[in-house]
């Protein structure tokens, strides 16, 4: 791998990477933070694309300044024209949202509960996750259709939530498109495991399987020796995570599910509980509200930081080292692109891809989160076989809801949309589902495509 990196460092890269949604103050800069650590991609053309011209201009000017600091490592372009952005693209990294994210997230949380739903968060699962999908999937489908038409051989990376539903819609819209969905939730386990197991992360082979925000650590090996570390993990996990307990992460619900299902759910209480009818029983309502508020404040801090640096740039006082001088975002898009270009045959522990025989007792027309191998041909799921029946059972319930949710969107069917809300364990009533749907339709035109 070092020889390959040296080769690509000496040879300017002619790849075209398109960032869709680049006007975001978190997505655009964080992706360049990773790009600037890459020797393999040096010399590539990176196109910033967004439909919000004003936001795009701000990010472009900042990235231009950063690029000068980094000796013009990339050819940076920007455009609001989708066709121009996608033409000749080799890789597309997409991270879009619709509307005021946190205002809508609060509605996704509050409206179902107003009518009796027991959902605990409303971002990716439960009726709130369905409402989120109703808004964000239609524009992503339009992007994917454009990719199919303009650059069908491009590799597409999705960061938008609700991840599993978005990826399922991509799969059904463009079945021949090479794509993955990436989520950083595995990062919490990546942080804790080396401490708990007293081994470096690069000597641990994680085997997580399930759905995004709803997965279990099914296996753990020592990479150097191939030793099965699951007995040691299970011996230490309960005591270790109890000592590390945090109300937004591994807490009462995680411990209960671990006890009942015998495998550790690695996503944290706030996400895990979205999919479980008993989620509310083991979480505190205020904790979930505080999590939304925390995420909102964190986003506003990043936004203010970007605007401060933009103001400095306009005043001719931009920091000499820039704002992207060191570190990485922790996201895996750039390492995956590098592995494809260099045919590195790397292992990624948690990627969202179609379930092509990876998990046998889950629907095959589903997107699962699982380990993959990455080479010049893209990503290849590491097959697991059969999950324990109890775990497969709760995952299949969510799979059914995702199936109906995506079907409703692609068919623009109000009736299927209401059914997808009603069959959710956190709704369980057509009366409640119809009230939820009626209110969200009255509040916004994002749902007007349903007939």
Peptide bond preceding 162 in cis form (omega within 30 of 0)? yes
What residues contact residue 93 under an 8 Å CB cut-off, 6+ apart?
17, 18, 19, 20, 31, 157, 159, 333
Q: How many residues does the chain have?
A: 451
Q: Are the CB atoms for 72 and 32 separated by under 8 Å?
A: no
Residue written as token pair 């000496």? 10
Q: Is 132 a catalytic residue?
A: no
- Distance set, CA 380 to CA 46, 76, 370, 372 (Å): 26, 31, 10, 5
Q: Are the CB atoms for 422 and 433 separated by under 8 Å?
A: yes
Q: Are the CB atoms for 49 and 93 separated by under 8 Å?
A: no
Q: Which of 49, 55, 70, 184 is catalytic?
A: 184
Q: Which two tokens stand for residue 447?
A: 């749902």
Residue written as token pair 């969107």? 409
Q: Is 139 exposed, middle or buried (0-12, 13-18, 19+ CB in 10 A)?
A: middle
Active site residues: 184
């Amino acid at each position: 791998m070092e020889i390959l990196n040296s080769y690509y460092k000496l040879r300017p890269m002619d790849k075209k990477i398109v960032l869709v949604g680049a006007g975001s103050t978190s997505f655009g800069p964080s992706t360049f933070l990773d790009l600037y650590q890459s020797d393999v991609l040096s010399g590539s053309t990176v196109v910033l694309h967004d439909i919000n011209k004003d936001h795009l201009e701000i990010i472009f000017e900042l990235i231009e300044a950063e690029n000068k600091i980094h000796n013009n490592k990339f050819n940076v372009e920007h455009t609001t024209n989708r066709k121009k952005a996608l033409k000749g693209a080799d890789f597309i990294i997409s991270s879009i949202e619709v509307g005021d994210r946190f205002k809508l997230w609060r509605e996704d949380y509050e409206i179902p509960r107003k009518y009796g739903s027991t959902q605990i968060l409303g971002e990716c699962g439960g009726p709130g996750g369905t409402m989120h999908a109703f808004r964000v999937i239609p524009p992503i489908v339009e992007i994917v259709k454009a990719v199919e038409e303009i650059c069908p051989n491009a590799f597409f990376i999705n960061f938008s939530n609700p991840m599993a539903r978005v990826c399922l819609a991509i799969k059904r819209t463009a079945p021949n498109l090479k794509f993955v969905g990436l989520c950083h939730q595995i990062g919490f386990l990546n942080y804790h495991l080396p401490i708990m197991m007293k081994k470096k992360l690069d000597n641990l082979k994680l085997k997580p399987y399930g759905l995004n925000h709803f997965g279990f650590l099914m296996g753990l090996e020592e990479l150097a020796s191939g030793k099965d570390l699951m007995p040691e993990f299970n011996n230490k996990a309960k005591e270790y995570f109890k000592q590390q307990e945090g109300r937004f992460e591994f807490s009462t619900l995680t411990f209960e599910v671990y006890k009942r299902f015998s495998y550790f759910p690695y996503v944290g209480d706030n996400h895990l509980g979205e999919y479980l009818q008993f989620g509310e029983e083991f979480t505190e309502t205020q904790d979930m509200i505080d999590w939304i508020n925390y995420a909102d404040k964190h986003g506003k801090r990043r936004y203010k930081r970007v605007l401060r640096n933009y103001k400095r740039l306009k005043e001719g006082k931009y920091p000499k080292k820039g704002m992207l001088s060191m570190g990485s975002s922790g996201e895996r898009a750039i390492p995956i692109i590098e592995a494809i270009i260099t045919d590195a045959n790397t292992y990624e522990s948690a990627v969202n891809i179609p379930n092509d025989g990876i998990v046998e007792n889950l629907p095959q027309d589903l997107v699962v989160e699982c380990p993959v191998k990455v080479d010049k041909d893209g990503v290849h799921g590491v097959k697991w076989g059969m999950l324990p029946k109890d775990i497969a059972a709760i995952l299949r319930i969510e799979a059914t809801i995702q199936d109906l949710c995506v079907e409703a969107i692609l068919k623009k069917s109000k009736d299927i949309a209401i059914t997808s809300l009603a069959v959710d364990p956190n709704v369980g009533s057509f009366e409640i589902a119809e009230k939820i749907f009626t209110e969200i339709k009255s509040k916004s035109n994002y749902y007007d495509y349903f007939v």
